[in-house]
Structure 1
Amino acid sequence: MTLNNPYQVYQNNSVNTASGGELTLMLYNGCIKFIKQAMKEMNETNYEAKNTNIQKAQNIIQELMLTLDKEVEISKQMLPLYDYIQFQLKEGNVKNEVDKLEEALRLVTEFRDTWKEVILKTRKAQPAKGVHA
């Protein structure tokens, strides 16, 4: 498959060159985007598109769950929160309740914002590349 669209090439390069932390941030951002789109589709009674977007968000949460390092204490605390988000997404989808999606969106947004702070602090703590002590 040839990539002729410059934006698509840029996107692929962004993913291929991103650090693990940046990839996690991309996952959170994608999940937020799909939940918001599902809420929009739900309000427009476009239930097929709503379902598709919720499934995409659920797949992202599943991926985040699978990549947790079970040896790290914070991972043991995150797993039940991810389970809760999955439950809210499922309930919102099945019952067409936007408040369930709003709750999932709130949590994912909090996680994303926290993760972004971690990345920024980590970058500040690292010495500049090419500078030797």
Structure 2
Amino acid sequence: MNPYASPQAYRDSAVLTASPEQLVVMLYDGAVRFLRQAEVAMNEGAWLHSFEKLNRAEAILDELLATLNMDTGEIADRLQAIYIFCKKTLIEARIQRQGEKIAQVVALLSNLREAWAALAQQAAAVAPASA
């Protein structure tokens, strides 16, 4: 089998060629995907599977937190507060075993994802003109 035809090779290529804005969108996509899986598993009573997916989503939130440029001002401060709120809510979801709390975080991150996707699209439209 051609190693370049694998889904992993495609993902690797997409990550390596993505703009910073597109990378943030990809992180949101991953977090939302893992959170939806966690919510379904939790609602089915599959606690261990749910906790595993929550861990993966929380790792993405940690990455988003770690890569914030706090020198950029108010936007970074607000994003930091949102990410910390999301992590707190996911901890509560795990302890209380409430899928509804996961759904709250999914809704919040989905809104942020759409905003970043629009930003990435604008940046891509400007990039060719400046090259």
> So what's the TM-score if we normalise by structure 1?
0.89
User: Larger relative contact order (C-alpha < 8 A, sep ≥ 6)?
Assistant: 2
Cα drift, residue 128 of structure 1: 4.2
Q: CA deviation at 1:4?
A: 7.0
**Contact preservation (8 Å) 2:93, 2:102:** yes
Q: Where does 1:46-65 land on structure 2 (aligned, <5 Å)? A: 46-65=46-65
In the alignment of these two chains, the number of paired residues is 129
Alpha-carbon distance in structure 2 between the residues aligned to 1:10 and 1:47: 32
The equivalences for 1:69-80 within 5 A come to 69-73=69-73, 74-80=75-81
CA RMSD, Structure 1 to Structure 2 (Å): 1.8
State the distance in 1 between where 2:29 and 2:10 align. Answer: 17
**Residue 87 of structure 1 aligns to which amino acid in structure 2?**
K
| Residue 105 (structure 2) pairs with residue 96 (structure 1) | no
Shift of 1:5: 5.9
Deviations 1:35-94 (A, max 9, x none): 000011112211111000001111101110010001112101111111000011111111
Q: Which runs of 5+ in 1 are unaligned?
A: none
Structure 2: tracts of 5 or more residues without a match: none
